[in-house]
Amino acid sequence: MKDHATLAEEFIRDDARTNWHDETLWFVRQKRDKAAHGIPEWEQLREWASQIKNHTLSNMDRYLEEFEKNALDNGVKVHWAADATEHNRIIHDIIKSKGITRIVKSKSMLTEECHLNHYLEEQGVEVVDTDLGERIVQFRHEPPSHIVLPAIHLKKQDVSDTFHEHLQTEKGNNDPTYLTRAARVHLREKFIASQLAITGVNFAIAETGGVVVCTNEGNADMGTHAADVHIACMGFEKLIPKASHLSVFLRLLARSATGQPVTTYSSHFHKPRAGQEMHIVIVDNGRSNILGKADFRNALKCIRCAACFNTCPVYRRSGGFSYHTAVAGPIGSILNPNFDPKKYSDLPFASSLCGSCSNVCPVKIDIHNQLWKWRQELSKGGHLPLSKKIMMKGMAFVLGRPALYRFGGASARWVLRYMPFMVKFKINPWNKQREMPEAPRQSFRDWYIQNKKK
């Protein structure tokens, strides 16, 4: 499998498209800045959000039981899934028991994480993603490249081509209004015909047993209103203790994500309507494992706003697919190694550690510190390439010994001065698109001893 550096290099080869991707997401970051700066108490809100989440993580057992009890009292069926397999099986069992064939799904990164669509397809069940961006990538058999803007890697003409193929729109008509209308007609047919709606969950409230789903398209509502069965899927970290805490999180979420004051639809689901069935599937899938790690647990505070994606100078220039996982970007780089350290050992290195991610995070996850800590973990676990290990141990040996360091430094300068071809070859990644620094005759230390030492 190709690593992030290789996939990023392939992405960057198309310079114009890389610039477009970078500028589009930078525009979203700027909208976020404007929204954040419009609220004088922004930093206080972040602090509150962080504390509420920390408190919830520390009392997870209590709040999960409270949530389950209240949801059951509301007439909701609650399921517990230890992992992705169990999550998928629970959903399939519900579908099978009802003999359902037509299913719509609004955006849920958890179902991406569990590869639910793929699993259900294998069982002969077709799921229609109803978020516009997700529908576009679903037509193209691609995963989402961004957790909030799933089709952000595509341009108008790509969407036009895709719709021409799947929805028989006019070839070459790139007009966004025309294309959106076509999608609307198509999706309305699916909503009306669907028997079962799957949604994600943005917030699950312990004191009420209800869940909140935030969308801009109203697709979660259209799906659940038309269907006889609603299944809401959530990782257990979506929990918050009280409904009043929403006043903190709803103000932060959309501003951080897109710069909007609030998502167009913040829909509260408390109980099934008459004649409807409502299920909630609570998923662990490795989260307990993260909760048990002091250095990494606060990554579970994440509310999936993707502000860290939009600000990340690496993500903007390497695209979501370079992270080869459902949740990309800086937060993905600290979450995924928990699930499979070997497979995702490259991700904590897909960062210059600039720290912008931690600064925009609405729940104050110390993302860049966790990236650094993950590098140490992966090294300790033997998940890094042997060549890197040898290089770093060699450097540490030389740099830990002053005399050897001075000899090495003088030799390196000598080589650069007199035999530059030894280092100025193509395979040297520094030299590929950059000149090496010029080598002075004297080091600072040499100069100091000659001129300044008393």
Residues between 39 and 98 that touch other proteins (CB under 8 A): 39-40, 42-43
Q: Is 180 in the site for other proteins (CB under 8 A)?
A: no
CA nearest neighbour of 238 among 289, 304, 148, 293: 304
CA nearest neighbour of 207 among 68, 378, 361, 349: 68
394-400 long-range CB contacts below 8 Å, 24 or more apart?
Answer: none
Footprint on residues 4-23 left by other proteins (CB under 8 A): 4-5, 8-9, 12, 18, 22
CB of residue 52 vs other proteins: minimum separation in angstroms?
19
Query: Which of 392, 407, 419, 425 contacts other proteins by CB under 8 A?
Result: 392
Q: Is 434 in the site for other proteins (CB under 8 A)?
A: yes
CB of residue 231 vs other proteins: minimum separation in angstroms?
37
Residue 112 or 377 with smaller CB distance to other proteins: 377
Distance (Å, whole) CA 78 – CA 272: 13
Query: Which of 101, 157, 180, 443 contacts other proteins by CB under 8 A?
Result: 443
CB of residue 247 vs other proteins: minimum separation in angstroms?
18
Footprint on residues 403-422 left by other proteins (CB under 8 A): 405, 409, 412-413
Q: Is 127 in the site for other proteins (CB under 8 A)?
A: no
268-272 long-range CB contacts below 8 Å, 24 or more apart?
Answer: 268/210, 268/211, 268/212, 269/199, 269/210, 269/211, 269/212, 269/213, 269/224, 269/230, 269/232, 270/74, 270/208, 270/209, 270/210, 271/74, 271/75, 271/76, 271/210, 272/75, 272/76, 272/230
Dihedral-angle region of residue 324 (phi above 0 means left; psi in -120 to 50 means alpha; beta otherwise): left
* Span near other proteins by CB under 8 A; candidates 35-43, 98-106, 165-173, 223-231: 35-43
Retrieve residue 8's tokens. Answer: 């990023």
CB of residue 446 vs other proteins: minimum separation in angstroms?
8
Binding mask 352-391 for other proteins (x = CB under 8 A): xxxxx-xxx-----------x--xx-xxx---x---xx--
Residue 167 or 398 with smaller CB distance to other proteins: 398
Residue 12 or 60 with smaller CB distance to other proteins: 12
CB of residue 148 vs other proteins: minimum separation in angstroms?
17
CB of residue 437 vs other proteins: minimum separation in angstroms?
4
Binding mask 279-318 for other proteins (x = CB under 8 A): --------------------------------x-xx--xx
Footprint on residues 313-352 left by other proteins (CB under 8 A): 313-314, 317-318, 349-352
